[in-house]
A and B are shown apart, each in its own frame.
Chain A
């Protein structure tokens, strides 16, 4: 594709994105907001999976930390919402270092299990520490996000906030992946001993990426708390962690921008299938299996191949 066509396509996409809230129902805008949140949180998991070869099943923990921090800071302490974002990201980063440093010595299957355990423990703590989290009752009355006096109090406004944030973190991640640390990450993913011999400090790099993943999860969680106004433990279970992991898996794990497609998939497909009644979960499982088996490189790899096929047809 030449440059002009690419810019044109981008322009069209931006236009469609900007105009969408005018045409969409309130429910659909809602879903797009969630897809934006999942893009942010899923990106962290995607960087670990696609670049570092690490399966992280603990993202719901950090999503929860962000959400509870924002809820606690605004509802209990009455502080400005930005404080909640910062507190959540700081807490997530510290916990990610404390847990990641020892746990990231594990590899493969064992590491995946350890992160799964982390998610489970997190959920138990969210339940037990009800002075902080409200337990099963949760925390309600979380104020709408307001930044420098501007309130993001309608779905449209949040839509116009969440997506630019998502694009920003995707841009930063894209830069990172193309940079020197990105090379080192993929090197340790493909052949750890060789990466080590070439001087890559794998343990430090893995921990750093785990911290970034946690902070993205927390950021998404804080946005989520302000958006829905009410949060409880049910939102931060292992299922949520699995859904976050599915985002890069569906997208094609090494793709940064594909995370958007993965997030849209895990948001919209269950919604579309819910019309089928009770079996919608089975159908979602089927849809997943189809994507993973038919498109080994995920949605993005599949789209690439389709584009190449069309090109050849046209030529």
Chain B
């Protein structure tokens, strides 16, 4: 019954191990079209690091490389000093990496609670046979997944929507579902790709609070956003332009940087 023991140690407030992400010399191109050339930056443990850049500058491509959807043409991605080149998407997840998507990818025909329960899939053990037979341990495990997921939903203000079909929710709430789903699995490093897009000012304010909360619980965060106001939450911001980091520093300094101004104003 190792499965039961596994889950009993499933933390409601997970202890986060130190995590540092490091991109070194990352280059990528799509069929000869160069998107990233020599990208270097690090995400120190416990920090919120921002990544900005105009449309098409390669931010999402960076995310895809880090999360394992793309393998870079050159360079290395290190998680806590370990090269992840050979790791599948799932293997990266097991090591504590989690990401969201620029266009939220929720499970539309599933309820909000079920969406968040899938966030705990990796912490479960019961397989096909045990589930078919509804063994006591499979049942207990499912109950525990449900309870933990429910807790996460409430934390993100989804308590009243547990049974709502996710595909019927407005864009803002889908983002919240995606965030809760990413959070519930207690990742060490969380990549958020434009979590603020499609949100109104009020929702962005709320999002800011949640990001701060996740960070205070120990999650290291890499944040991509076009919202410069939200970006001030980052400890450090890197500006990506035509596949290269052209400036790094606190948001206030980045905003003042002449090269960044030029890049954004299309000078």
Contacts and interface: CB of A to CB of B under 8 A. Distances in A.
Given A175-B132, A196-B89, A199-B121, A190 B142 contact: no
A268 B134 CA distance: 34
Interface string A170-184: 001101101111111
A191 to B, nearest CB: 4
Contact of A186 (B98, B110, B141): B110
Contacts of B105: 191, 193-194
Instruction: Give the residue among B109, B118, B124, B178 with the most A Cβ atoms within 10 A.
Output: B118
Given A197-B67, A197-B98, A198-B122, A181 B106 contact: no
Contacts of A254: 109
Interface in B99-134: 99, 101, 105-110, 114, 117-119, 121-122, 124, 126-128, 130-134
Contacts of B106: 190-191, 194
A197 B98 CA distance: 7
Interface residues of A, number: 28
B133 A172 contact: yes
A239 interface: no
Instruction: Give the residue among A178, A179, A182 with the most B Cβ atoms within 10 A.
Output: A179
Interface string A151-172: 0000000000000000000001
Contacts of B145: 180
Contacts of A212: 128
A194 B131 contact: no
Interface in A191-221: 191, 193-201, 208, 212
Nearest to A182: B131
Given A194-B101, A199-B90, A186 B107 contact: yes
B154 interface: no
B133 A194 contact: no
A178 B67 CA distance: 29
A172 B132 contact: yes
Contacts of B119: 198
A203 B101 CA distance: 22
B121 A184 contact: yes
A187 interface: yes
B133 A181 contact: no
A181 B121 CA distance: 9
B71 interface: no
Contacts of A195: 107, 118
Nearest to A200: B121
B266 to A, nearest CB: 32
Nearest to B99: A197
Instruction: Give the residue among B105, B109, B132, B141 with the most A Cβ atoms within 10 A.
Output: B132
Given A179-B142, A184-B118, A186-B109, A198 B131 contact: no
B124 A191 contact: no
Contact of A179 (B93, B94, B134): B134
A187 B110 contact: yes
A212 B133 CA distance: 14
B264 interface: no
B181 interface: yes
A308 B261 CA distance: 59
B138 interface: yes
A200 B114 CA distance: 14
B108 A190 contact: yes
A35 to B, nearest CB: 23
A286 B124 CA distance: 46
Given A190-B109, A191-B106, A179 B138 contact: yes
Instruction: Give the residue among A172, A187, A196 with the most B Cβ atoms within 10 A.
Output: A187
B67 A176 contact: no
8 contacts: A176-B128, A179-B138, A180-B126, A191-B108, A197-B99, A198-B98, A198-B119, A198-B122
Interface of A: 172-173, 175-176, 178-184, 186-187, 189-191, 193-201, 208, 212, 254
